[in-house]
A and B are shown apart, each in its own frame.
Chain A
Amino acid sequence: MTHLKSREAILFGAILGLLLVVATRFPGFVAPENLIAVFTDTSPLIVLAMGQMAVILTRCIDLSVAANLALTGMVCAMINVAAPDLPVGVILTVALAMGAMLGAINGILVWKLSIPPIVVTLGTMTIFRGIIFLLTEGKWINAHEMSPQFTGFPRADLLGMPVLGWIAVLVSAVMLLAMARTTLGRSIYAVGGNPHAAVYTGIDVGKTQFAAFVISGMLAGLTGYLWVARYSVAYVDIAGGFELDVVAACVIGGVSIAGGAGTVVGTLLGALFLGVVKNALPVVDISPFWQLAISGAAIIIAVAFNAQSGRTKGRVILKSAEHAQ
């Protein structure tokens, strides 16, 4: 655990360094209001990364999060068009429930049919996008069709930060508690750390993976509503390719792609790192191509870091060396 803590410190340092470099050329970037704006802009990524982290920890991967987001977001928008007066609370409940259901489909296929997660979610990713097309025949739902309370919720200001930002804070806090202090969180780490050992200790590996997919789906559904409301538009291709950013945030944050290792704080920092890169570089006139290159380099560095710390240190054979450790 100690090396994970130190890598989180390194990541935190990298984010600070990045902010510092940008601040020397454009001091306004590090003004509190702007930092809050950057955080809010990164919030969807943070929320999705929290779910993805749970999935990756169990040695799975969820490539369908962005498609789940788009489908649930579209359904929320359609409900809003049909019943503009429905309270936001109902919409939120629908978003969470529907997202969880879509996640459960992934989970069931992985659990009961033992299909590799990458295949399952690659399939459902395409299916979810296809369903949006079937529902809408490719038409968009635009800002003027949505009710003001529907689009206003994520943008509403609460203690100086939009609700969207607070939701990311809340989700991170809940996940922090869930991973550290619940039996489910512990099972998730155990399943990813050593599935064979987990079976013998009475943990149902498939069921735990199912639970992780439901969490990921639920958070994707939640983000679906927030995304559609924030940008006030819903169409087939929203958040296209965003699942890769989500996986990248986890990997940069130190979640091992082999499962079993990774923390909520690391994932949060990984998402923030990508958010800062995305928001800061245009400000200092660095082309978007460099932005992609920097994100890509960060992923490779993070994976190299994981591989390095995972390398075995050699065996202690001499009795004298055992005490020296």
Chain B
Amino acid sequence: MTFQASEQSGDTAFAPVLSLDNITKTFPGVKALDGVELHLYAGEVTALIGENGAGKSTVVKTLTGIYQPDGGQIMLDGKPVHFPTPQDAADAGVTAIHQETVLFDELTVAENVFIGHAPKNRFGLIDTKAMHAKTTEILASIGAPIDAGVKLKDLGIASRHLVAIARALSVEARVVIMDEPTAALSQTEIEELYDLVDTLKAQGKAILFISHKFDEIFRIADRFTVFRDGQFVGAGKMADIKEAELVQMMVGRAVEQLFPKRHAEIGDEVLKVVGYSHPTEFEDINFTLRRGEILGFYGLVGAGRSEFMQSLIGITRPSKGVVRIDGTVQVIRSPADAIQAGIVYVPEDRGKQGAIVDMPIFQNVTLPSLHKTSRNGFIRLAEEFAMAREYTERLDLRAASLNTNVGALSGGNQQKVVIAKWLATQPRVIILDEPTKGIDIGSKAAVHDFMSELAAQGLSVIMVSSEIPEILGMSDRVIVMREGRMVVELQGDDLSPETLVRHAVGIQTKGDAA
């Protein structure tokens, strides 16, 4: 493995390494890509921007030989090419680090890096020695301190990501595609990734960078291309465009206020948590929550925020601590107890932990409240339907019938079903874990709007979020957690991006006596 520095960006910047011209891809009944274009240049990072469903992932799959375009042309160095299989794309030097990294837990780092194209010895068997040597070489080139011989399952999430990148570089890569590479990383890890991207740029690779996060696009990209609803909207250099213009290109309309926190009447204390601790996950969590309040929980990935929330609703048992609702001590041993006490939790992974797709809408909505519409274990269908109708209408859920299976709904509507389900339990406190993670800007605004409406109606909201603008825009107060502990509680003028990050990463300064 050698990294060629011969392709200097200055000479080749005018002619793209890889181009998509007028690419069309149709699935049964759906046009996923409608005559899009995309150009990638050696030694430059091109950001591909678009809302969820704009066709970004389809482009990645077309570039890497997973999908075949129905029309249009892929050009490599100005010559038309076809990638009938992923192997053909890899042979041509186009390689991708996917959104959900596809790696194998039980295999070693080297085996993961070279799976599918392992070096062979003269008997046709895998040359383990060469494989390890090459892996070590690649890992060193990206500055990753990982042993090629350890099993993947023994690595943390950030190291796994580096392995995925090493895997992408194990072929003679000329074009590197990064699909939301920072989605699962913490702030420090993200900085390391940026350094890595700079290294790859210096090596003359053309990089396609897909991300939802504007700050990182402006930090790292040289050019941008915007898609909307499967169509090409525009492209240009980052230096020539402003954030607001990009947003407008993405959504096709001006988004005035991304975080529309409305005024809500803050009332009496609803929830009080004292000394909540767990043997291994978190320690000594104390806070109060008032009626109509939105309390933000900020921290790096792995700070123990979700773990604490899951303990609060009875999925895991705390070692000590007291929960009071309206001043009354509540013993919460199971999610059923939490629902009874009026605390509900909307998990981060809504696909996996939210809706039951094989069930009709009405059954999903009533699932946690079924005891209210049944007598002696028998369900009263009329009452059940009335409950489902009330809450789906409240969320303005549009579906042909409440008998439709949730699996047949769009992602946004599935999310509405999940939220309707929790509102039907008539909770006092609703915990939203990363409520807008991975959703597009338009839907984000709708979620934020809805959150303030809940608060305005007198519900108390706990919002776990890793996005600073969201935390700052939506929260009345913010608790920062680090390594399983509450570091600080901030509100009003104390809230700023700098203070949040400083507390989350643990940088102490003189001004932090509080």
Contacts and interface: CB of A to CB of B under 8 A. Distances in A.
Q: Do A and B interact?
A: yes
A197 B335 CA distance: 11
B14 interface: no
A196 B354 CA distance: 8
A1 B356 contact: no
Interface of A: 1, 181-184, 186, 189-190, 193-194, 196-204, 260-261, 313-319, 321-322, 324-325
A115 B34 CA distance: 51
Contacts of B29: 314, 316, 321, 324-325
B30 A319 contact: no
Given A202-B335, A202-B338, 5 more contacts: A182-B377, A189-B363, A194-B353, A203-B367, A315-B27
Given A200-B347, A313-B28, A318-B34, A186 B370 contact: yes
B374 A183 contact: yes
Nearest to A324: B29
B379 A189 contact: no
Given A204-B336, A316-B410, A197 B230 contact: no
B32 interface: yes
Contact of B360 (A1, A183, A198): A1
Contact of B53 (A1, A202, A315): A315
Given A181-B381, A315-B53, A322-B410, A202 B30 contact: no
Contacts of B371: 183
A214 to B, nearest CB: 15
B356 A194 contact: yes
Nearest to B338: A202
Nearest to A3: B405
Contacts of A183: 370-371, 374, 377, 379
B363 to A, nearest CB: 6
Contacts of B377: 182-184
B421 interface: yes
B338 to A, nearest CB: 8
Contact of A194 (B336, B355, B370): B355
Contacts of A200: 313, 315, 335, 345, 347, 353-354
A313 B55 CA distance: 16
Interface in B2-37: 27-32, 34
A317 B363 contact: no
B358 A261 contact: yes
Given A181-B381, A200-B345, A202-B335, A318 B367 contact: no
A197 B354 CA distance: 5
A264 to B, nearest CB: 16
Nearest to B405: A1
Given A316-B30, A318-B32, A202 B379 contact: no
A318 B410 CA distance: 12
Interface string B344-383: 0101010011111111100100011011001001110100
Given A182-B377, A194-B357, A316-B410, A199 B230 contact: no
Contacts of A190: 356, 359, 367
Given A1-B405, A199-B315, A313-B28, A260 B358 contact: yes
Contacts of A324: 29
A187 B28 CA distance: 35
A223 B3 CA distance: 72
Given A181-B379, A193-B359, A317 B53 contact: yes
Contacts of B379: 181-183, 186
B486 interface: no
Given A204-B334, A261-B358, A317 B32 contact: yes
A197 B228 CA distance: 32
11 contacts: A1-B360, A183-B371, A189-B356, A189-B358, A190-B367, A201-B339, A203-B367, A315-B32, A315-B53, A318-B30, A318-B229
